[in-house]
Amino acid sequence: MLITDTGVPERFIEVDEWGSETMSRLDDGWCAALDRRTMSCSIYLNRPLICREFDMGGPDCQEERLRP
Ligand code: SF4
């Protein structure tokens, strides 16, 4: 969810049924801004706040990695 304006390009933004802006996802659930070739963020300098604060390798990260 986008809660602050960090300059995410419009083409990567969707509005959900409650009117909140979110990062768009591809059909397989991956973030549309992910460069699948390098597995890195294609908008790194403009990534959403939540991406900046996500603790890489932390409990939430480990939980996500275990998801099928
Ligand atoms: S850091 Fe990851 S989830 Fe966040 S915008 Fe970039 S590719 Fe998407």
Task: Summarize pLDDT for 5-51 with one digit per residue, the tens.
Answer: 999 999 999 999 999 999 999 999 999 999 999 999 999 999 999 99
Identify the pLDDT of residue 59. 93
Q: How many domains does the chain have?
A: 1
Q: What is the pLDDT of residue 46?
A: 97
Pocket of ligand 1, beta carbon within 6 A = 23, 31, 33-34, 41, 43, 47-48, 51
How many angstroms is it from 37 CA to the middle of ligand 1? 14
The answer to whether the CB of 33 falls within 8 A of the CB of 47 is yes
- Rounded to the nearest angstrom, the distance between the alpha carbon of 61 and the centre of ligand 1 is 13
Q: Is residue 2 assigned to a domain?
A: no
User: Is 1 a member of any domain?
Assistant: no
Determine the Cα angle at 41 with ends 11 and 32, to 5°: 35
Q: Provide the pLDDT for residue 23.
A: 97
Identify the pLDDT of residue 15.
96
Domain that holds residue 62: 10-66
State residue 44's pLDDT score: 96
Q: Give pTM, 2 decimals.
A: 0.85
d(CA 9, CA 37): 20
